[in-house]
Amino acid sequence: MKSFGLFVGLLVAAGVAAAPGKDYEHKVKESVAPPRGWTKVKPAPADHFIDLRIGLPQPKFHELEQHLYEISDPFHERYGAHLSKEEVEALIAPHEESVSAVDEWLASYGFASHELSRSSAGDWVKLRIPVSLAEEMLKTEYHVWQHEESGDAVVRTTSYSLPEHLHVHIDVVQPTTTFARMRGMKATYHYADEEARVVNIAQPTIPIPSAYNGQVNSSCNGSLTPTCLRELYNIGDYTPQAADVNKIACTGYLEQYANFEDFNDFNAKYLPEAINSTFDVIYINNGSNDQSLDAAGVEADLDTQYAFGLSYPTPATFYTTGGSPPFIPDDITTSDSNEPYADWLSYILNDPNPPQTISTSYGDDEQTVPYSYATRVCRELAQLGARGVSIIFSSGDNGVGDGDSDPATQECYTNNGLNETKFVPAFPASCPYVTAVGATWYIPEETYFISGGGFSNYFSRPLYQDIAVPHYVKNLGNTYEGLYNASGRAYPDVAAQGQFFWIFSGGENFLIGGTSAAAPTVGGIVSLLNDARLAKGLPALGFLNPLIYAIGAIVPDAFNDIVGGSNRGCGTEGFTAEVGWDPVTGFGTPNFGKLHDIAVGNIGGLFDF
């Protein structure tokens, strides 16, 4: 049913004047340089509809952050005392003055307060309005912009204004200045076209001291299955015990569909104990999950087959969120939604009982997301962590670069109009409230050169990195000085195998890889750790990073340290994988057996080693 506000918007789009509004004096709220790699095509159609999101300030967020770090710190007495949905919302709710000021402004355009769509905490207001009305409200001009390399198109502006008195009551308005394409892991998956190493058939196993029974089948070197990963990461025959309470999920965007027939074929060949198992699908913002084989998504199949395969029989969910670029900028297509990530966040934050582990293999260059919006998205992820959810992201497949050309030769520039040469961090991997996963390959494990890693230009180094990261930076010396932000949040945090994964997709069986293989692998392992804790009546792990960095400092053999190799990009060799933490593979790959013993031990206070 159309709201009165939307009806007014339609009148404006048709050239009919809305009710007289208050004559507010506007001031520029945000302005960005024309983005590199994008071309302004033409003015946006006046009747093109956008879902305008208005973010109100969260004055108590610093209190939420303090709670998050206390309940995620394994040395703190509150470890594991996760907050409820209602407690989190109380900490991020805006002041009533902000709500009233924004409501009054919107009322001047005919939007009654009770007709507005709001988030549960009231910190977001959402309007579906035509471009013509958005241009009037924000004193701006929208255009169709096209990404030169991919052909993706979006309706955006490079500057918008708000009434001056509202600047303290509104943090951000989008979609306006964000040019993120939220790449569906063309940035973070690669077909396994690298030459596989010849397996020595005279050596049936490869000795790996940290592996299950100290060895891995030699067939796993360049040919990975769930069985290989269970051996390599010392999972062995661990069987979930808390399937009644534990849950795991993967997210899907950009028309990436998880195919049930492919899932069954995968299980039949590689995980026979899971034959006839399935997963739930939740549809968000008109999402779909087309089951025709030619619509099967490689990314979606990879995520579900490995995250859900490693954690079987833990109940699993695939979130499919509608809205995807490219928007076709013609005069017939008058509506698009190419910021699906915001819709997923809105849904999951409103879920009173979200899965304890969620893996996402999508991301973009940090600099394509305006700082104001990246900050808000990152804070949404902090809310999930405070509620006991482990959020896992792939770190990207472009080394230290931006992925617009060969990683070894690409030239990387800032997106601020100055064209400075800089390494290009990824987002949301650079958010300090998520766990970012880099990539290794081969057995014994080596650095996979595509592994995204580096230092955020938006987010400062969090406290949990105050030992590991400065040590690396000090040893780096003047190398790459000026190319990265040495005081920024560093990533990835951990790594896993990221190449030569056997999957089924579209009815075909083939190899694939990338950090979008590493992320669901870590997701599956984290879900098993959550299972072990829940089975003992302990709370789920929640936000992982403070624990990871504590373990990395005290029990380093809980991760398999990767030394040597680098994540090349921007015409450089990139950062080098060193002893301990590094911005290529983090602390290394997981040793489930060691992590399991830590997870079910005296983790609520001091470690008992």
**Is 562 known as a binding-site position?**
yes
Contact 588, 494 (CB under 8 A): yes
Assess contact for 154 and 40: CB atoms under 8 A. Answer: no
Give me the catalytic one of 123, 231, 299, 339: 299
Residue 580, annotated ligand binder?
yes
Paired with 504 in beta bridges are 509
Give the distance, in angstroms, between the CA of residue 354 and the centroid of all CA atoms in the same chain: 16
566: β partners: 576
C-alpha closest to that of 574 among 452, 442, 473, 396: 452
Active site residue 303: yes
Residue of 30, 51, 231, 303 marked active site: 303
Q: Which stretch of DSSP H or E encloses residue 497? A: strand 494-497
Catalytic one of 516, 527, 531, 566: 516
311 noted as active-site residue:
no
Tokens of 354: 């979200």
Q: 344 near 376, Cβ under 8 Å?
A: no
Taking the C-alpha atoms of residue 484 and residue 60, their distance in angstroms, rounded to an integer, is 31
Nearest to 431 by CA among 496, 476, 483, 385: 385
H helix and E strand count, the chain: 14, 28
> Is 235 marked within a binding site?
no
Kindly give, in sequence order, each residue whose CB lies less than 8 Å from that of residue 495, ignoring residues fewer than 6 positions away: 437, 438, 439, 440, 451, 518, 562, 584, 585, 586, 588, 589
Report the C-alpha gap between 285 and 321 in whole angstroms: 6
Return the closest-CA partner of residue 341 out of 285, 409, 395. Answer: 285
The owner of tokens 């695939």 is 318
3-class DSSP state of 535? helix
Let me know if 361 is a catalytic residue. no
Find out whether 282 is annotated in a ligand binding site: no
Token digits of residue 65: 């952050």
Q: What is the DSSP string of 115-127?
A: GSEE-TTS-EEEE
Annotated binding site for Ca(2+): 561-562, 580, 582
Annotated binding-site residues read: 561-562, 580, 582
Active-site residue list: 299, 303, 516
